[in-house]
Every structure is written in C-alpha cells, then in structure tokens.
Structure 1
Amino acid sequence: MIAYSAALTLLALFLPLVAAVLAPALINRLGYRASWLLALMPFLSFLHFLSFLPEIADGGEVTGGYAWVPSYNVSFSWYLDGLSLTFALLITGIGTLIVLYAGAYMKGHAQQGRFLAFLLLFMGAMLGLVMSDSFLMLFIYWELTSITSFLLIGFDHERQAARRAALQALVITGGGGLALLAGLILLWNVSGVTQLSMLLHVDNIVTTSPYYLAILLLILGGAFTKSAQFPFHVWLPNAMEAPTPVSAYLHSATMVKAGVYLLMRLQPVLGDTPAWQILLPFFGGITLIVGSVIAVRQTDLKLMLAYTTVASLGLMVMLTGFGSDHALAAAVLYLIAHSLFKGALFMVAGCLDHEAGSRDLTDLSGLKRAMPITFVASLLAGLSMAGLPPLFGFLAKEEIYAALYGGNLRALLFTGVAVIGNALMMVVGLALAFKPFLGRDAKSPATAHDGPALLWLGPLVLALVGLAAAVFSAPFHKAISSPMLSAVARKASVVEVSLVPHIGVPLALSVFTIALGLTLFLMLDRLRAGVAYLLNNLGPGPDEGFDRLMAGLVRASFRITNLIHGGRLDVYVTLTLILVAAAFLVPMAVFGEGPDWPSLPGHIELHEAAFLLIAVSGLYAVLRAANRLDAIVALGIQGFAISVIFLLFGAPDLSFTQFMIETLSVVILALAMTRLKLHPADHRPWPQVLLDGAVALACGTGLMLMLLKVTQVPFDPVLTAFFNTYSKTIAHGANVVNVIIVDFRGVDTLGEIAVVTVTGLAILALIRIRAPKLRPDAHQSGQKAETADAGGAP
C-alpha cells in the first residue's frame, strides 16, 4: 500500500511534465479545446494532494522517494507537510485554472501549443521545487523554474523588450541559484545530511556553526533574487512582457513565492538569530515600501499588479524574519490571501485587455454593465487586496498588525512600514476594483463583454474561494492555515483569527489603514503625480543599473579577452608553461614540501651511462640544429634514450609505449612542418632566448622535484594487490598494464582516444588550409603568386 501511494505521488509530481510533452500535438489537433484535456492532468494532481489534507491536518508528514546516488546519500525524494502541501495545492489548483484561461486567452495564436508546453513545464518545475526533500533535487528544480520562466517571459521573442526582460530574469535568478547551491553545499557539510526532512530535526548545529553567517547570506542570495527583494526586484515588473496567463501564474502561486517558501522552510534551521531578525525585516520592509510606492504611479494594470506583488513579497519576508509566532501566522495567511486575490486580479487584467482592448487604467471606465462577471471577480479580489471584510485579505491584515505591534522602537517602526505599505496597496486594490467598471462615460469600446467562460472562470473561482475562506475561516484554518503554520514554526500551532474582530490595537490599526487608503484613493491622480515627481528626481534606479552592469561586463570581457588572447601562439604557450612551472614550484616553496635530495649511486653501468650520454647529446643537437627539420628529428633522440632506460629498469610496456609516442611525434611533426619553411634556423633575440630557457628550466625542475617527492612517499600496495588479484579473474587478462588501460580504465582510455582523434582532425584541417592566390594584377606588378607559410605549396 505504501509503494502504491508513493507511485501515485510520483505520478502526480510528473503529470504536469507529461502534459507539457503532449501540449503541442493536442493543440495542433484539437485547437484551444485541448486546454480542457491539458488542465485535467494538473487537476488530477490537485485531487491527489487534496487527499493528504486529513493526514497533514492531524500533524502527519508524507515522505517518499528513490535512491539516486546511494554512495553520496543523494536521493530523488519528496516531503509533504503543511507548508509544502499548501504550496502544492496552490500550484496545481491555480495552475488548472490558468491552463483553462490560457486556452481562451491564446486562442488562435500560432504558437499556442509551445506556450502551453512551457507553462506546464514551469508548473512541473515549481511543483518539484516545493515537494523536494533532497538538496540536489531542490536545486535542480530551482534552476528549472528559472529556465522555464526565461522561456515564458521571452515567449514573444521578436520584441526586444521581451528578450531583455527574459535575459534579466535569467541573470538575476540564475545568479541567485548559484548562491543557493553554495549555501546548500555548506549546509550539507555542516549538518551532515542531504535531506530537508532530516535537516529540520538537527538541533542548533547550523546556527552555532562558524559558517552560519556564510550559509545565511548565500541562502538569502537565492531567496531574495527569486522573490524579488530590493534591489533585485527589477526583473519582476519587467517580466510583464510575458503574456498575461504567465503573469497571473508567476505572481500568484509559483516562482516569485519560491524564495518565500525557502525562507519559511528553513526558518526552524536558520531563524531565531540576530542576523535573521535584522536582515529579513530590513530588506522586506524596504521592498514593501518601494513596491507599493511605485505601484501607485503606474496606470498599466499589469504593472500596478506587478509592483504590488513586489510589495507583498517584501511584507511576507518581513513577517517571516520578524521572530514571533504571530508574525509567522500572519505571513502564512497573507501568502494564501495574496495567491488568491493576485491570481484573480491578473486574470481580470487579461480579460479587460482581451475584451475591452486596453489595460491602461486611464482608458477604462463604465464597464460594469458590459462585463458584470468580470466586475464581480475584480471587486471581490480587489477588496481582499485592500484588506476589507468579508474577504480573506482582511484576516491576514488583522494578524499582521497583531504580530507587529509592540511597545519597543523596532515594533513601532515595522508597524508603521506595514501601515504605509498596506494603505498604498489598498489604493491599488480599490483602483482595480472600481476604476475600470464604474463611471458614466465609458471610454472602452462598445463591443466590450465578459468573453468566453474560460476567461472569467478562473478569476471568479479564486475570488469566491477568498470569500469562502474568510466566511468559513474555522474549517479553513484547521485544514490549511494551522498545518502550514505548524510546519513553518516546527511546533503544533493554531490560527484563530476570523471575521469577528477583536477590539484592540490591531482593529484600530486596520481602521486607520482603511481611512488612510480611502483618502489616498480619492486623491489618486495627485498622488500619482507626486510619486512620479519623486521618482524622477531620484535619478536612475536598479533597472538602469542592471543595463549599465551588463554593458560594463561586456566591455570588461572584451578588453580582458583582447589582453589574454592577443592572437600569438608563442605567448599562449609561454604563459601556459609559466603556470605549469608555478603549480609545481610555488606550493613546494611556500609549504616547504620539497623532496630530500637523493644520494647518487656509487656505480653506474656502462650501458646506462651511454644512454644518458645519448639523451644529453640529443638535447645539445636540438639546441644547435641548423634548421627546424633537424631540430624535430633530434628531438626524438632523448625520447628513444629514455625508452631504452625504461626497458633496462623492467618496464617493457612503458618502454614500448614511449617508443611509439616518440616515433609518431617525430613523424607527425615532420609532416606538419613540411608545410612550412623548414630551412631557416630559429633565430630569436637573446631576451627571448633567456625567457624561453628560464621557462623550460623551471618546468623541467618542477617536474623533476615533483617526481622525486612522489617516489619518496611510502609505497601503498593496495592498488597493486587489487589489480594483481582481479586482472585475470575479472578481466581475463594476464598483462596487468594492458588490463588496467583497456578494462579498469576503459572509459578514461576511450576519452584519451577521442582527444587524440579530435586533435588529429584539427591538425589535418590546418595542414589542408591553403592561402588564396594573389589577384592577377599582382603578376603584372612583378609579384609571384605564392602561398603563405601555413598554406603549403601552390
């Protein structure tokens, strides 16, 4: 039964990916109606995860998976508790509605199949991210969300703005992903575990580690970039270049909340420290103010929603790091509320753009009669965003003020930040709820209407869920909110806030926020002008800074490339050999690891001395060669002499290999050099000769010292015994050296063969290159048509 449940969970995890593979073919055959079939797969996943609600609500956890790399304790495993289950339900539930919505919104688009494939792949990546138990699995899915979001944001790739936005999102979130990888590796080393479910049971090992601050900063780098915290927030508004279904899904339940999910998941491991409680509220509070202030300046519906998403993410990060149970409860409630009202409002913006022909707030009014269903959805979602009863956003706001208010300066500061941010977001919520639909003079086309059911179904369902969750708050908290809070806090916790207000400071702060928000809403035009004036006088922001950074990076890369790659092969070889010599000599000199000088043998046999003399003679012949061909031929003398020495000291296989290498090297070099002018001697100025000689001596000395050091280390016969024992019994070969090369190191040998083959092909291509002959008029001027040195004979 357990294996059957694990198989079903694995299937539910992969169903969106299966739908992504099928999407292009189904759309080509059935058109937009295929969206019903495609939406069925995430809906089945949603139903499967919904079946875990009773078990999770009772405090249970669901784990499973398969061994991936057992030797490194790496597995493909999943972990479901109140936090990951809530995210899984949001991803698959809202994802089902988004797929249906996209089917109608993208109807008739030539690339609808490709679009839905990207969207479903994105859904599968996000679902895998929140379900991951393995560190490696978490990172892979984390980066997959960045890649798929790049494809979705840049879907309309013919527009330069879309390409720029996609690249910006990929650079920022991808860079954060690398920081996350480093943080996870440090977590692994400090805690000794590779799974989140095990990490959550490790007591204070991480927070007491000397690497804690490095781990925290790296994890925050990943979370802040993904969840668009200041100053990394710029990619999120620019991501509005994507089609509206992408914006609705990305902002409500998926990528932008991945960072918040990670912070909530690791709160029991990294939280409750001064660094955590300073960095998260500080950056979260700044992001809340920046996002909400810029939001009221906008008139484009999607940009208004995008900047309020930035503000909302800042609020969630601020609450997660504030350091109290009430703050964690407020973060949980606001995350759920935001997912519901923001998904609905984005889809409403798409409906207005699709059916009324504009998403500019100043061009829309009087649409209540023409689009009544859209108006109801917008009204409910907008009021929830404004934090008004009887919507779920009101419950979240009440809990926020209950969590933040206190008598100390820190509490008062962040309470003030929350009041200002919520009031400004209320202005945007009311503007979205009323401005496009009320008013006597309809600026929108007379043909505006609600559109097909698939367009208004998603926003209406999400808006009604936000209403039902507030009205029936007790069962909703029992099934969703309390288990999620218990998972974040790692202790049994109960959320009790309801629509019945408790007289006190939180209610007073809510009333003050509403009054402030209404006042600002009534003077929205002047507020917008004032914010625009303020931002214009602040100068360029992080968005322009990103462009300057990328331009500077390109210029620096160009200059460094020109500096390092000047086009001279002799410089490349010299620098490479200098680094090789440094790698040998510098560590020995710095750490005092030089070898002991060996004692010279008392007696050298005549034939041994003869071959040593031949090697030295070969070296002298190379240095005194009259031309390049003589130098190449003389170059083989030392190699043959050393081969004989190998033979004399009992290594016939090595000797034979050396003979082959020396022979082939001389032959190949001679053949290659016949294409060049070989007769002139290699005359170099004395400074060049001294430099080359010094580099050669340094490399030779370093290699000699390294070999001496190696031979002075006590010999470990373990491998020798292993190969002697198993070469014949396993590989069925008596020649141990050949068996090692062909069988035990077969893949390595195959790689060496591939390298030699590729090198040979490159040499062949160079040999066959011929320089173009000179123009006929060159003959008239007395010049002869001839090939360059590298080109060979004409």
Structure 2
Amino acid sequence: MLVLLILHLVAALAAPLLVRWWGPRACYPLALAPAAAFCWALARTPAVSDGGAVVETYPWIGQLGLDIALRLTTLSWLMTLLIGGVGALVLVYSARYFSAGSTGLAQFAAVLVAFAGAMLVLVFADDLLLLYVGWELTTIFSYLLIGHSTERRSSRWAAAQALTVTTLGGLAMLVGFIMLGQHAGTYRWSEISAQPLPGGGYLVGAVLLILAGALSKSAVLPFSSWLPAAMAAPTPVSAYLHAAAMVKAGVYLVGLLAPALATVGPWRPLVQIAGVATMLLGGWAALRQTDLKLLLAYGTVSQLGLLVAVTGSGTPDAALAGTAMLLAHALFKAALFLVVGIIDHSAGTRDLRELSGLRHWSRPLFVVAVLAAASMAGVPPLVGFVSKEAVFGAFTDQPALLTGLVAGTVLTVAYSARFLWGAFADRPGVEPVQPVPIAASLLVPPAVLAGIGLLAGPAASVLDELLRPYADLLGGVDAHLALWSGPTPALGLSVLALVGGGLLFAVRGPLAPVLARLRSPVRGNQGYEWVVGRFDRLAIEVTGATQRGSLPQYLGIILVTLVLVPGAAMLSASPWRARIPLWDSALQPVVVLVIAVAAVLAVGARRRLTAMLLVGMTGYGTAMLFVLHGAPDLALTQFLVETATIAVFVLVLRRLPERFSARPLRRTRWVRRAIGVAVGMVAAGLALTAVGSRRAPDISAAFPDLAVLEGYGRNVVNVTLVDIRAWDTMGELSVLVVAATGVASLIFERSRTGPRPRRPESDQRVVESGRPVWLRGGPTLYEERRSIVLEVVIRLIFHTVVLFSLFLLFSGHNAPGGGFAGGLVAGLALVVRYLAGGRYELTEAAPVGAGPILGAGLAMAVGTGLVALLLGGSVLESAKVDRALPLIGDVHLVTSLFFDIGVYLVVIGLVLDILRSLGAEVDRHIEATGTAAGGLAVNKGDRS
C-alpha cells in the first residue's frame, strides 16, 4: 500500500514534465498510477472476500505512538477499486478532452493524480490521525481542481466555498477524532471497533463532531450548497470528485464507523433524517434545472443523501445495500458526467432548452447515456436496480423511512428521464444542434463504466459474495443481492417508484409553471453567501473598533496582556525555593552592566543609527556572557546573528530619516516606560520561576550522552539541532523560508527576482581593456562611494571566508560551528561583497537566485528525513559511516550532515534574499528616483 502511495506521489511530481513533453497525451502514462491501484486491489480480492484484511505498519513518530498504519478491508477494497478504476478512466478521457493549448493542464494532471493518492491515504488509513491527513489533502487538492479555471470568478468562488465548508467540517471531525481516541485509549480504528466503548455525553459529542465532518464532505444538508457550485470545475473533475471520490469520502467514513457507533446517541436518527431530507430536496431541485451538469449535480446531492441514510443505519441488510449502492452510484454518475462533457465539448452547450436530436448524431453516445441513466433510475437488469431493491428490502420494518426513500426514488426516476429527454430527444420548436465530430476514444471511458453497470446486475450474486464480509461486521445478513428475488415487497416498491417517476415526468408540461414559481428547496450559494457576508461584516466592525493604525497601541496591548496574564499566573503560583547565583565570574556583572547601560541609552537615542549600534551592543554583550559561561557555540552564533542583523538594519536605514519622528507626549511617555519596566520584570520573573519550579529531572542532562550514542557527535548544541530536536529545526527552516518570502514580497511586486542587472557598457569596456579591477562591480559605483582598499581586502579574503564557512559546516558536529553558523558566515561574505561593489557585484558573487537556494536547502532537509524513513528507520534518524580511504585516512560521516547542509543553504538563501530585496532592489529604486538618504553602494547608470 505504501508503494502505491509513493507511486502516486512520483507520478504527480512527474506530471508537469510529462505534460510539457507530450501535452494532453501525458494523461495516458499518468493513468497508470491509479490503474496500478485498481489492479492491486483486484489481486487482493481473495484476501478480503473472506472477511480478512491486508495490514501494513511503518514506524513514524515513535515518541508519540504514531505509526503509518495501513489496512485494507472489504469497504476500503471497494473504495480502492473505485478510486483507481474511475481515476484511470478519467485520465484517459482527459487526454482527449483537453487540447494542447489548454491553460493549466500541467497543474490539472499533477493535482488529479495527487488527489487520487490522497484518497488512497484516506481509505487505507487505520489510524484516525492519518485518516485526517488524507482527508485534508483531498480538501486542498479538490480546491485546486475546482478552481482550475482561475480566470473565471465563478471557479474561484466555488473553490473557496468548497474549501471553507469542507475545512470547517474537517476541523470539527479532527476534534471528534481526538476525543474518540482519548476516550478509547488508541487511535487505531481496528482496535477501537474491537472493544466496547463506554457511553456518555463525551462519546456523543465526539460522534456529533465526526458526523459534522462526514456530512460536510458528502454535501448532506445543511452542507449541500457547495457541491452544485463546484460544477464550475472541468467535467473530468466533476466525474471523478463528485461521483467516485471526494464526495464518497464522507460516505466511506460513515460506513467505516457505523458498525461500532451506529447505536451511540443520535447517530442513527441524525444520518437517516439528514440523508432522506437531502435526497428529497436534492431530487426536487434537480427537476428544476436546465443545465445538464447542474441537473446531475443536484441528483448527486440527492443520491449522497440516500447513501448516507443507508450506510449509516447500522444494520446488516442496510450495510450490504449501502455498499452495492456505493458501487452503482460511482458507475452511473461518473459515466453521466463524462457524457455531459462530450455533449458540451461537441455541441458547445449543456442547456437542455437548446439541445435537440443528439441521439441521431451519435448512437453509441445515446446508448451509453441510456444505460447510465437507467441504472440511476433503478431499471432492471442494471446494477442500479439491484442496489435500489436491496435498499427497499433493508427498511421494510421502518415505514416512515421507507416512505421517504421511495419518494426520493420517484424523483430520481423523474430527473433521470428528464436528463435523457433534455439531452437526446427530438424537441419541436428547437433547431437540431450541429455538433462537431468527437474522437471515438473519448467515448470509451463512459462506455466502460456503463457496461460494467450493465454486467454487474446479472452478476449480483458475485457482488453479494464480495460485499457480504462488510455487512457481517454488524451481524447476520438476511438479505441477498440478486437480480430476481421473487415477488417481494421490495420489488413492488421498485415498480411503484418507476411508475411514479414516469408519471411525474409525463406531467412535466402542466407541472413546469408550478416548478418555476416554487423557490428551490436547496438554495445553492445564497445561504453560504449570507453566512459569509455576516462574518465579513462582523470582521469589518471588529477591525474598525480595534485597528486604528497605531503601532504603539498594538504593541502596548500585546505587552500589557503579557504582563497581566502570565504575570498573574506567576504571582499566584506556589512558592518556590531555588538558589540563584548572582554570578559565576567577576566579569559577568561588568558585561551585564554594559548591556543594561546600552539598552537604556538605546531607548533615549534620537538618531536611528545610534540606536541601532546600541541595540547591537546588547546583542554582543549577550554573546560575551555565553563566552564567560563556557558556551562557545552559542556565543559564535550570537555574534554572527548580531552582525547580520546590523547589516540588515543598515540596508533598511538608508531609506529612513536620520532621526526618529516627534517624541511622544509626556503622559504617554511615562505609560510606555511603565509598560517596558513591567515587561522586563515579568520576563525575568518568569525565567526565575521556570528554573525554581522544576520538579522532574532536567531532560537536557542526558543530551551529552545522547549526542555521542545516537547522534554520533560531541558538539551537543549542533547534534541537538540536527538530530535530537531535528523536528524543531525543520519547523524553523520553514519559518526562515517564509520570512525570506515575506521580505521579498515587500519589495518585489510579482517575482522574487527581476532581470539580472548588467554593468553599464562604459564600465564593461574598462574591465575588458585589461586594467586591474579588484571587484568587477567596483567601476559601477560613484567615485565618492568607492574604496580601493576595501575592494582589495574583500577580494583577498572573500574566498577564505567562504572556505571558513564550509569548515564550520563540516566540523560543527564535533566542534563549534554547524550549518547555521556556516551559512551566516557565507552570508556575511556576500554582504561585504555587496557593500563594497553594489548590486552589480552581488550578482557577480551570487549569480544564482535566492529562491532555488532556499528550495534546495529545504528539499535537502526534508529528503534526509524521508530517506531515513524509506530505509526502515524513523524520520530524521541519523546513521554513521566509518571508512578508511587512501591518502585521506579515516573518514567519519554522519547522515545528519546532509540535514545540516540543508540548514546551510537555507541560511545563505535567506541572507541573499534580504540583500537582493532590501539592498539591490532598493538600490535600483534609488538610482531611478535619486532619493538616496545617505545610502550605501549606490551604482551609476540608471540615475539621471
């Protein structure tokens, strides 16, 4: 199973390249990934048909008890067949549906394959938290697929609506999962379902939250509005997501949990009432549609209500009928969506008021549509009839529910007939359309689906044998899936529904004015728009009341909250006793005094540059304290960070006035001072309280031994960063990448990098004439800003500094240094090159963009963790290699070095991004406007 997931990941990553090479035909090889899932599931049929399961478990985060637990049962086997089979056919269909010039085809192909992989994660997951991961991945990918036509506002709105509704439901479901897992003592569903769960309000609350997520995903009332709006997506997306995959996720979850939770509190009445109400209202809305795709969309809403009501009822007969209906619905609805795509593609319209005579244009298409629509209506001998009769037979002892199901089926028959009549009938007064020819291969996928629906009806006994193990989880099953079960009440109800639906369609003429006057019971976007509009209004009101544009006010509120909330907790804490030594050496109080004086002077400084230097002094003083305390690695990092920070300050101050703005009023000045003093006292008090309140042994006391035994290094600080607490470092790397992107977005409008700056021609001639030039960007500077001594020194030391950064990188595992310190040193080397030669010199020193460096670093760090996992270890687990090499001697290599290289690259990318944004790009603006405020390294050329 894990191999299938990796296969889909690889296919999704390769999709853009394949589309670039082959265009839409790339969908053919991409279809092999879901086809492999289909074939794999078929091969596992004997293992699950007797009630067994296929299980795979891989260690993930052992400390948290999280494993990648995958499990294939009868229900997930059926879902895998649908995900893989329909997914492969949709990709084959897409190869002819899209043209070579279709916009966003590479993204579509990649996201569709990735969506199929996410659905497999969802149905394979035995761990509820892993199931949630797959659940949210499908939400994200469906957002991208629904919003495929980004230039259309309707697509963007529909995608945002689907994302909002399903994400909110998913968050509720996550809370329910956590409550259920804590209640049961495990998150493995196979273990939860095998034990009796203690009842009570806590379990009821968990069940309600989980159902909120399931109902929102399957567009069951009150969450139905997003699905009709999602018809803005391309037809292949609708055929896959809204017939066989995404919307089935909620049905799958209900079916998965029903054997264990159907008897808990409001589960059964909730799913039955919501399901039948959705079936009735969705079917009624479908009768009012003139767009064939919207007709199918509301029909899908109706059918999803039926599926939820049946699979969630929690009885053996209903479980068997529900799985059969799950299969039948995927077959006929996917086929019908693909048929609508062909009609729209060839005729240029989906409006049934404009269509006439299509059955004469393509007989095969008409036959496929008839088979699929007849299955949807429940006409024998199709699989839709078998499943619909099984549904009626499962609820003969619940007359109220059965009445609703029969009434909903009458509506289903009526809108199935309306679909065929609207799309293919000869209609008087409507000019026959003249469709363009279509490729025969475009008809193959819907024909395959409709053909399986035709063959599965007579083969109902085979389906009964394959699907019965799932129903057996709820007890003995009395019913059987069969094409002919004799003159039973279920057969009579099936005939009644067909006759009633036919009569309802027959009176469509007199009924049309009534339908036109009645408001649609499922109002589409209006309810969603009303809710979103109220929240937008509330946000505006709150923002207007709290956001006044005053940075001191915002900072004051944050700091006062810090003083009041943690400060109150600190004062109310139990008394503690701890010996706090005042100092360890005589130099420490001297350094502290210097830090304090610098901080006080920085507060009162009127010049920005003076304040910056004084703040830097506090940072260097802190580094000196680290030195005195015996922490050279921390001291080195602090020195480098402070130096880099001062460089950034210098870049920013160039565009700011020399002095601060007007001083605050006297009364507010004292308020600010009081807040500052209070924050300092609370921060110091919290630090002392944390030290004095310790009851458990200090976990860091074991770090030196862990560093040697498991991290294979003697530098505890660096081994902690790249091994013991590597997950924390991974998060920090992501923060650095986001910070770099944020800085770039403040300066660049669209792209992180503009055109590469070229030196003026006059300066190029100077360089090419053979005159000695120490820095190639030096001649671009104005003479008053050049320093030949600085250029010579930097030319001589630059490469040495870069080599020193590499030394820190490679030696950091056993000595002070590491990827972070090494990256800062390399970044500072770029800083001095820029300060000496300007933006042209920066391009000479770093011809590569910051984005690729940041991406390569993050990919290196993530790849290190994944390789460890694939080789059988845990994520980011280290291994060592000791080899004796000729001429070199003994080599000691630890795999965490590759993670450290990722850190090194990310830090360099961050510094380079800052230099390109706040340095080179600001220089370009200065040159263009001539408004340098005492700036550094302003180049010649553009300024007039």
The normalised TM-score by structure 1 is 0.80
1:728-771 Cα deviation digits (max 9, x unpaired): 9999999989998999789589779979997999899989989x
Aligned pair 1:722/2:702, yes or no? yes
Deviation at 1:258, TM superposition (A): 0.7
Secondary structure of residue in 2 paired with 1:368: helix
1:156 equivalent in structure 2: 149
2:74 equivalent in structure 1: 82
Deviation at 1:230, TM superposition (A): 1.5
After the TM superposition, which residues 350-429 of structure 1 pair with which residues of structure 2 at under 5 Å, given as runs? 350-406=341-397, 411-429=398-416
1:5 equivalent in structure 2: none
* Alignment CA distance shift 1:356-1:764 (3 Å): closer
Unaligned runs of 5+ in 1: 1-8, 777-784
- Which has the higher relative contact order, 1 or 2, with Cα contacts under 8 A spaced 6 or more apart? 1
* Alignment CA distance shift 1:679-1:727 (3 Å): same
Matches of 1:633 and 1:455 in 2, distance apart? 70
1:652-671 Cα deviation digits (max 9, x unpaired): 769x9699899999999999
2:269 equivalent in structure 1: 278
2:441 equivalent in structure 1: 454
* Alignment CA distance shift 1:95-1:626 (3 Å): closer
Matches of 1:252 and 1:663 in 2, distance apart? 58
Aligned pair 1:570/2:552, yes or no? yes
Which residue among 190, 209, 214 is the counterpart of 1:218? 209
* Alignment CA distance shift 1:528-1:81 (3 Å): farther
Aligned pair 1:255/2:241, yes or no? no
Secondary structure of residue in 2 paired with 1:362: coil
2:420 equivalent in structure 1: 433
Aligned pair 1:343/2:334, yes or no? yes
Deviation at 1:304, TM superposition (A): 0.7
Matches of 1:626 and 1:124 in 2, distance apart? 59
CA contact (8 A) 2:602 2:614 kept: no
2:192 equivalent in structure 1: 199
Secondary structure of residue in 1 paired with 2:51: coil
Which residue among 161, 165, 169 is the counterpart of 1:168? 161
Aligned pair 1:544/2:526, yes or no? yes
CA contact (8 A) 1:628 1:679 kept: yes
After the TM superposition, which residues 16-31 of structure 1 pair with which residues of structure 2 at under 5 Å, given as runs? 16-26=8-18, 29-30=21-22
1:26-72 Cα deviation digits (max 9, x unpaired): 55555655554444443343222112222211222111142222333
1:93 equivalent in structure 2: 85
1:474 equivalent in structure 2: 461
CA contact (8 A) 2:16 2:106 kept: yes
1:457-484 Cα deviation digits (max 9, x unpaired): 22232223222222222122112x3234
1:534-566 Cα deviation digits (max 9, x unpaired): 116x7x935123234444545554555565554
* Alignment CA distance shift 1:204-1:136 (3 Å): closer
Aligned pair 1:529/2:521, yes or no? no
Deviation at 1:238, TM superposition (A): 1.5
Matches of 1:462 and 1:442 in 2, distance apart? 34
> Once structures 1 and 2 are overlaid, which stretch shifts more, 519-528 or 610-619?
610-619
CA contact (8 A) 1:341 1:462 kept: yes
2:173 equivalent in structure 1: 180
Matches of 1:517 and 1:527 in 2, distance apart? 13
> Once structures 1 and 2 are overlaid, which stretch shifts more, 431-440 or 720-729?
720-729
Which letter maps to 1:80? L
Which residue among 254, 259, 263 is the counterpart of 1:268? 259
Which letter maps to 1:541? R
Deviation at 1:639, TM superposition (A): 11
Matches of 2:599 and 2:100 in 1, distance apart? 79
After the TM superposition, which residues 373-772 of structure 1 pair with which residues of structure 2 at under 5 Å, given as runs? 373-406=364-397, 411-439=398-426, 443=430, 445=432, 447-448=434-435, 451-479=438-466, 481-486=467-472, 489-491=473-475, 493=477, 495-535=479-519, 541=523, 543-554=525-536, 556-557=538-539, 560=542, 564-588=546-570, 592-595=572-575, 651=629, 684-713=664-693, 718-719=698-699, 721-722=701-702
1:297 equivalent in structure 2: 288
Secondary structure of residue in 2 paired with 1:232: coil
Matches of 1:581 and 1:395 in 2, distance apart? 69
Matches of 1:28 and 1:643 in 2, distance apart? 52
Matches of 2:683 and 2:116 in 1, distance apart? 55
Secondary structure of residue in 2 paired with 1:213: helix
* Alignment CA distance shift 1:716-1:243 (3 Å): closer
* Alignment CA distance shift 1:376-1:483 (3 Å): farther
Deviation at 1:635, TM superposition (A): 9.4
CA contact (8 A) 1:351 1:450 kept: no
Matches of 1:56 and 1:192 in 2, distance apart? 27
Which letter maps to 1:174? T
Matches of 2:340 and 2:699 in 1, distance apart? 69
CA contact (8 A) 1:366 1:442 kept: no
Matches of 1:732 and 1:86 in 2, distance apart? 48
> Once structures 1 and 2 are overlaid, which stretch shifts more, 299-308 or 683-692?
683-692
* Alignment CA distance shift 1:563-1:763 (3 Å): farther
Secondary structure of residue in 1 paired with 2:55: strand
Aligned pair 1:120/2:113, yes or no? yes
CA contact (8 A) 2:599 2:618 kept: no
Which residue among 49, 52, 72 is the counterpart of 2:41? 49
2:875 equivalent in structure 1: none
Aligned pair 1:235/2:226, yes or no? yes
Secondary structure of residue in 2 paired with 1:76: strand
* Alignment CA distance shift 1:575-1:270 (3 Å): same
* Alignment CA distance shift 1:789-1:293 (3 Å): farther
Which letter maps to 2:400? L
Which letter maps to 2:525? D
Aligned pair 1:106/2:98, yes or no? yes
Matches of 1:670 and 1:373 in 2, distance apart? 72
Deviation at 1:718, TM superposition (A): 4.9
Q: Could you say what the CA RMSD is over the residues aligned between the two structures, in angstroms?
A: 4.9
* Alignment CA distance shift 1:62-1:742 (3 Å): closer
1:80-126 Cα deviation digits (max 9, x unpaired): 11101111112222223222222232245534554433333322322
Matches of 2:279 and 2:647 in 1, distance apart? 68
* Alignment CA distance shift 1:673-1:158 (3 Å): closer
What is the aligned-residue identity percentage? 33
Deviation at 1:315, TM superposition (A): 1.0
> Once structures 1 and 2 are overlaid, which stretch shifts more, 739-748 or 440-449?
739-748
Matches of 2:46 and 2:714 in 1, distance apart? 65
Which letter maps to 2:448? V
1:3 equivalent in structure 2: none
Which letter maps to 1:171? T
Matches of 1:396 and 1:570 in 2, distance apart? 67
